[in-house]
């Protein structure tokens, strides 16, 4: 009897979840040495297949640049390993000798990973490695348009893990895709945590599954070039970030903000470095291509070269153009470039001063709230003021792509960037293995509550003579001196 695809996919999801649960229980007993051996082999295999996976991703999805996806795969394996290899994710991970508490790490169990089409192989390898590092199993639900390359990445990670001693089922991936199968995994009793990287609908579904979830929302990062900035370096960083993999990284710049006082210099530098400033008519034509149903990005133009976008919009640009730039007057649907654009197009704004830049940044971030913004300045005090903006990562003098993912900053290398509660995310940091553990705490008694201090005796004497049931205070025998002693003791503790 041949079952329908949706029924077959649901059964596959159940089988993978049950197998993954058994693997997770086995991994609980693995030592640090065993886990390190496993992830080192996974890293080795990922590095060896970085080019193959990059080529598969570009061919299957049509998004991005092979060379840049190779670097993403390297970041998700080799660079990640250097960051986490000495990270303590099991046993005692913290101890407070004064308060006599001991923190012990335990795995969460089976994790479900949702993979996007923009970074399909790097995200799959990244999540596989951080899951195994924290002694968890993981099962993936890939994006339909990136099914083949995601499955290949997951299979490579699974084979590498098993070669090094991991149990079968530690890493798995749905092959028969359907919304029903993804929903089945989300709600399966053996799945203990969901890491969702993808569109807002999928992230919202993950948070609605009734179990812990780590989801990341859309980014809409503004980049402010303040009057003290080194304009040449700022533009270099922005261009390197925005053109990397044709703008597929959610932390990449979406809008440029400069001041009237440095506007001419900023425009001139962008033009020298391959920025093409579109006319109002060209900007309108590009907007009609990029967005459908309001500000939803048209997948046909995600991660495309500026020449491809311009030609489709009815005009031509030279081969040395790297980014299309369109002036916008405000924020919202009347100024479509104010929304997220995972491609080689930027919005451009001019303001009078940093205060106006602050207000505009806040407006722009409403469409990618909690994610990332960048600031180019030589004024540290001004940079500190921008921490009040609704973004979890405020990057200073670095590109959004490289800075947000931890390549050019001290942030943890990550392909899952939390947006905090303001962005509807359960974490605000770059997600790492430490987000995939439970912390148990041993708490030793340090206060002898069987003996009352002088202040405790006074307090008890005071409250022991109060008739709370009747709402009255009668026969209070506490003296003024005793009351003074009690208040002074409380004040001393608060100092």
Catalytic residues: 250
- In the DSSP assignment, the letter for residue 335 is B
What the block records as the tokens of 482 is: 């005793």
For the residues of 207-254, what is the DSSP string, one character each? HTSSS-EEEE----EEEEE-TTS-HHHHHHHHHHHHHGGGG-STTSEE
How far is 51 from 39, CA to CA, in rounded Å?
20
Ranges of beta strands (E only) in 97-143 are 101-107, 110-114, 137-141
454 φ, ψ (degrees, to nearest 5): -60, -40
Q: Which residues contact 97 (CB under 8 A, 6 or more apart)?
A: none
**What 3-state DSSP class applies to 364?**
helix
Instruction: Choose among 304, 270, 269: nearest CA to 286.
Output: 304
- In the DSSP assignment, the letter for residue 30 is -
Compute the residue count for the chain.
495
Q: How many CB atoms lie within 10 A of CB 293?
A: 6
Tell me what percent of the chain is helix, strand and coil, each rounded to the nearest 5.
50, 20, 30
What the block records as the tokens of 182 is: 């993804």
Helical packing angle, 147-163 and 50-61, nearest 10° = 160
For 377, what's the count of Cα atoms within 13 Å in the CB-facing half-sphere?
23
Q: Which residues contact 353 (CB under 8 A, 6 or more apart)?
A: 259
Give the helix/strand (H/E) hosting 372: strand 370-376
- In the DSSP assignment, the letter for residue 300 is G
- Asked if 326 and 335 count as a contact pair (C-beta separation under 8 A), the reply is no
- Asked if 224 and 435 count as a contact pair (C-beta separation under 8 A), the reply is no
How far is 45 from 281, CA to CA, in rounded Å?
49
For 278, what's the count of Cα atoms within 13 Å in the CB-facing half-sphere?
31
């Amino acid at each position: 009897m041949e079952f329908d695809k949706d029924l077959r996919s649901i059964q596959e999801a159940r089988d993978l979840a049950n197998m993954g649960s058994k693997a997770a229980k086995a991994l609980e007993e693995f030592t640090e040495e065993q886990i390190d051996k496993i992830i080192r082999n996974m890293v080795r295999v990922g590095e060896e297949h970085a080019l193959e996976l990059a080529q598969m991703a570009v061919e299957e999805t049509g998004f991005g640049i092979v060379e840049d996806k190779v670097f993403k795969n390297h970041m998700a394996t080799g660079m990640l390993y250097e960051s986490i290899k000495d990270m303590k994710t099991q046993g005692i991970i913290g101890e407070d000798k004064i308060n006599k508490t001991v923190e012990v790490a335990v795995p969460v169990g089976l994790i479900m990973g949702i993979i996007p089409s923009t970074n399909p192989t790097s995200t799959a390898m990244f999540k596989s490695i951080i899951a195994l590092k924290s002694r968890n199993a993981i099962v993936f639900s890939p994006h339909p348009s990136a099914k083949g390359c995601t499955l290949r990445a997951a299979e490579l990670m699974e084979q590498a893990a098993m070669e090094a001693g991991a149990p079968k089922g530690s890493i798995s991936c749905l092959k028969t895709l359907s919304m029903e199968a993804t929903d089945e995994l989300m709600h399966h009793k053996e799945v203990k945590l969901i890491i969702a990287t993808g569109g807002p609908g999928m992230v919202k579904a993950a948070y609605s599954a009734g179990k812990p979830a780590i989801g990341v929302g859309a980014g809409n990062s503004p980049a402010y070039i303040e009057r003290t900035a080194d304009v040449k370096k700022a533009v270099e960083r922005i261009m390197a970030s925005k053109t990397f993999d044709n703008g597929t990284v959610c932390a990449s710049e979406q809008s440029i903000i400069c001041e009237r006082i440095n506007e001419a210099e900023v425009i001139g530098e962008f033009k020298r470095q391959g920025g093409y400033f579109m006319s109002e008519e060209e900007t309108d034509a590009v907007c009609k291509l990029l967005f459908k149903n309001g500000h939803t990005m048209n997948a046909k133009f995600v991660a495309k070269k500026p020449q491809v976008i311009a030609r489709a919009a009815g005009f031509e640009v030279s081969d040395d153009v790297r980014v299309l730039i369109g002036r916008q007057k405000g924020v919202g649907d009347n100024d479509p470039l104010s929304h997220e654009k995972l491609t080689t197009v930027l919005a451009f704004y001019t303001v009078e001063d940093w205060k106006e830049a602050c207000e505009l940044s806040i407006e722009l971030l409403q469409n990618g709230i909690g994610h990332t913004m960048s600031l180019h300045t030589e004024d540290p005090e001004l940079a500190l003021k921008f921490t009040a903006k609704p973004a979890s990562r405020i990057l200073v003098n670095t590109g959004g792509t490289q800075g947000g993912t931890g390549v050019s900053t001290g942030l943890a290398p990550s392909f899952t960037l939390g947006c905090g509660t303001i962005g509807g995310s359960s974490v605000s940091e770059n997600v790492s293995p430490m987000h995939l553990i439970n912390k148990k705490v041993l708490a030793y008694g340090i206060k002898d509550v069987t003996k009352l201090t002088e202040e405790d005796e006074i307090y008890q004497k005071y409250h022991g003579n109060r008739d709370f049931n009747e709402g009255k205070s009668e026969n209070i025998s506490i003296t003024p001196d005793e009351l003074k002693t009690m208040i002074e003791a409380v004040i001393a503790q608060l100092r």
